[in-house]
Amino acid sequence: MAGTRRAAMPRPDRRPRIAGRITALLAALLLGPGAALAEPYRLVPGDRIEVSMLGEPERIVAAVDIDGQVRLPDIGAVPVATLTLDEAAAAIEVQTERLGQLLEARASVSISDYAAIVIAGDVARPGRQDYLPGMTVTTALGLAGGGAAGADGLGQERARVSVAGELQRLNLEIASLVARLGRLEAALADSATPDPAEWLMSAIPDPAAIPLADMLDVEARTHADRRAQRDALLAYWADEIATIEAQQALFRQRIELHAQVIANAEAALAAARELQDRGLQTAARMDGVEQRFIDAQSRSLELESALIAASRALADARRARTRYLGEARDDTLALIGAARMDLDRARLRHAEALQDLAVLTGAGAVSPALSDVIELDFALVSPRDGRPGGMEVTPDTTLLPGDTLIVEVIAHGSVLSGGPALPPSPPLSRVAAPTAAAVPDPPAPPEIAPRAAAGPLELYTGDRAPGLAPPPRPETFPPG
């Protein structure tokens, strides 16, 4: 760079002035962008600046390189990134005087071209765009051909594919709920085959697109297995109740027979007393007759107690079976209600997705704003420290040179009205009282051991309801 060269005469000491400028420059670097409330523009890589020196006719245009430096003839590299224009001029002056190019350098720096911005993501024309002062996110979208509004934009195609996938998922979900409801309704109605009702089958949007027959077959096998478990469980209960009832009948017969034994013992006791009064009965024989009478009465009391225990066991078994049937019916009704609510919600979402797809493909009769179907999300990458930080990026956010704007199209469920009406679900089945047939999903029944043909008579005094704690050991009475 040409200029006033050093003379041979001694020059004044400029070290204090240079040191002051260096101090000011370091202070500017340390304070950074937040040093003032009204922050002036700070240079970033990609900016092009125009440098002129007082007394020099030439103007130098140089770009701030990736290292944040400008390279000037005869001066070399000068770090200017993050500096204001005044701070950059001061840095150039310091560098010029340090190298002895000028006695007293006076530099002026201005912006020739701002660093470009980059727009990426779901826009019609992603890439580099020249920066315009005051540019916002909306301005950048306009320069890039728009986001979701582009008729042939990638974002709209992605939204269409997303909605189409949602339709397939909902079709499968609806079919699964229909098959499950068919099984639950069959369990409640005690039907051997869980074929869904016609109104349920008509709720499936596209039966041909899913393995419906396999889904129904799985539910049919599940229904058959649980029905077999229920039948085995109820058969176990019926066998237990019949056994206790048979025990009751035997106890009553034995009580009737033992009444005759007591009557005979009482008659023998009366005769023995008469003989004793006449002096014809010994004391030992009298004691034996009295003991037989007492034993007969005691045995009668034992049989009465056994009959009461059998009646209690029978009542417990019947109560446990009734409770099981009632709870199973209530649970089935609750499951049917929940499944119908899930089905109605899935059908509503499917209807909305159909309208969304019609909007995205341009084939629908309804035409809500596209923003009802998709929305734009923005992210900002900046070479400036602390930007964007926690700032929310909106269409009104101001962009700065060197920023990178990332646009993403997000498909979401639209809030549309006027969709196809959904037929109401029929009312839940009303059963007057729980029956042995209306029982779904019972637990696996316990093993039932075969009964011995002969042996001691057993009286079950515990609660034998399956699924509960094991009953206590039965009391055993010898036959006869």
Neighbour tally for 17: CB within 10 Å: 12
Is it the case that residue 345 has pLDDT exceeding 50?
yes
pLDDT of residue 364: 42
Q: Give per-residue pLDDT as tens, 442-471.
A: 444 334 333 333 333 333 333 333 333 333
CATH of 115-146+374-411, one of 2.40.110.10, 3.10.560.10, 3.40.50.1100, 3.20.20.60: 3.10.560.10
pTM for the predicted model, two decimal places? 0.47
Is it the case that residue 66 has pLDDT exceeding 80?
yes
Q: Give per-residue pLDDT as tens, 121-164.
A: 878 788 999 998 889 998 888 888 775 444 345 566 777 888 88
Is it the case that residue 213 has pLDDT exceeding 60?
yes
Q: Give per-residue pLDDT as tens, 359-384.
A: 777 544 333 444 555 677 888 898 88
- Whose structure tokens read 């974002």? 155
283 vs 414: which has the higher pLDDT: 283
Give the rounded percent of residues in the chain with a pLDDT score beyond 90: 34
Q: Give per-residue pLDDT as tens, 28-51.
A: 444 444 433 357 889 999 999 999
- Contacting residues for 62 by C-beta, under 8 A, at least 6 apart: 48, 49, 51, 70, 71, 72
Alpha-carbon span 21 to 304, nearest angstrom: 118
pLDDT of residue 373: 52
100 vs 181: which has the higher pLDDT: 181
CA 91 to each of CA 5, 15, 78, 113, 271: distance values in angstroms, whole numbers, following the listed order: 20, 15, 7, 20, 142
Is it the case that residue 222 has pLDDT exceeding 90?
yes
Q: Where are the alpha helices (DSSP H) in 198-282?
A: 198-201, 212-277
Stretch 94-100: mean pLDDT, rounded?
80
Alpha-carbon span 300 to 109, nearest angstrom: 123
- The topology under which CATH files domain 15-113 is wza like fold (3.30.1950)
Alpha-carbon span 336 to 194, nearest angstrom: 14
Residue ranges covered by each domain of the chain: 15-113, 115-146+374-411, 154-373+412-477
pLDDT of residue 28: 45
Q: Give per-residue pLDDT as tens, 325-337.
A: 999 999 999 999 9
**49, β-bridge pairs:** 62, 111
Whether omega before 79 lies within 30 degrees of 0, making that bond cis, reads no
447 vs 189: which has the higher pLDDT: 189
